[in-house]
Amino acid sequence: MRIAIFDIDGTLVRGSTERMFWRFLFRKRRQRLRQLLAYVLFFIRYLPTGGVHTAKKNKAYLCGLSVNEVQILADEFVDQVLPQWFFEPAIQRLRQHRVRGDKVVLMSGTLDCLARALGRRLRADHVCATLCSQRNGVYIAQPPEIHPFDAAKLSLTRQITEQYGTDLGQVAAYGDSRHDLFLLAAVGEAIAVCPDATLGTVAEELGWEVMAPPAMAGSLTH
């Protein structure tokens, strides 16, 4: 069985879905003083142990919001706002995998509510994204329970291949960042999508496929 794993931010979507959604929450007046203070206090509390990755794990701006309400807003955001930011070549490749009968997986450090809404829209078979801490149906200002980022993506992919009864050699993975290298280097087929400088260099050295707009693709060959 073949599995196609797609990153979201910078791969299926041009830009950060989470930053765009945060702005959407401001427009919907779901960001008040409580959420902003929780976001700042998260840094103060967890920076000494979290280091440079503290910002990636800081989802405290959801503190005090209902999980159900945020999912409804995420669905609205993905339906009405996000499509204009799709990177169409990657979206088309995802659809090709689905037509061939491959299992399509979305794996991203973005919010689980966003990834699941996008997964439903794109008819993905499996979604693995940041699962924020919650209590009694309300988000709390603590580190996420699951955070697919950096080496964690490879570990989570191993779990998915075991679930589907296959191995990494049957996986095609799509990513845009040096943080995707742990996963890309371990799978049977690696595709760099609009890669950053580090990933672009590695992709060129190893002969990986690169998907990028014409102007960007030209710059990667020089």
Domains and CATH numbers, the chain: 3-220 (3.40.50.1000)
pLDDT of residue 216: 61
Token reading at 96: 């090709």
221 confidence band (pLDDT: 50, 70, 90): very low
Residue 213 has pLDDT above 70, yes or no: yes
Distance CA 29, CA 151 (A): 36
| Amino acid sitting at position 65 | L
Residue 219 has pLDDT above 80, yes or no: no
51 confidence band (pLDDT: 50, 70, 90): confident
What is the number of other CB atoms lying within 10 angstroms of the CB of residue 172?
A: 19
The secondary structure of residue 123, as a DSSP letter, is T
Residue 65 has pLDDT above 60, yes or no: yes
The closest of 139, 129, 149 to 54, measured between CA atoms, is: 149
Lowest pLDDT segment from 45-49, 63-67, 149-153, 166-170: 45-49
DSSP letters, 64-112, are: T-BHHHHHHHHHHHHHHTGGGGB-HHHHHHHHHHHHHTPEEEEEEEEEH
Residue 134 has pLDDT above 80, yes or no: yes
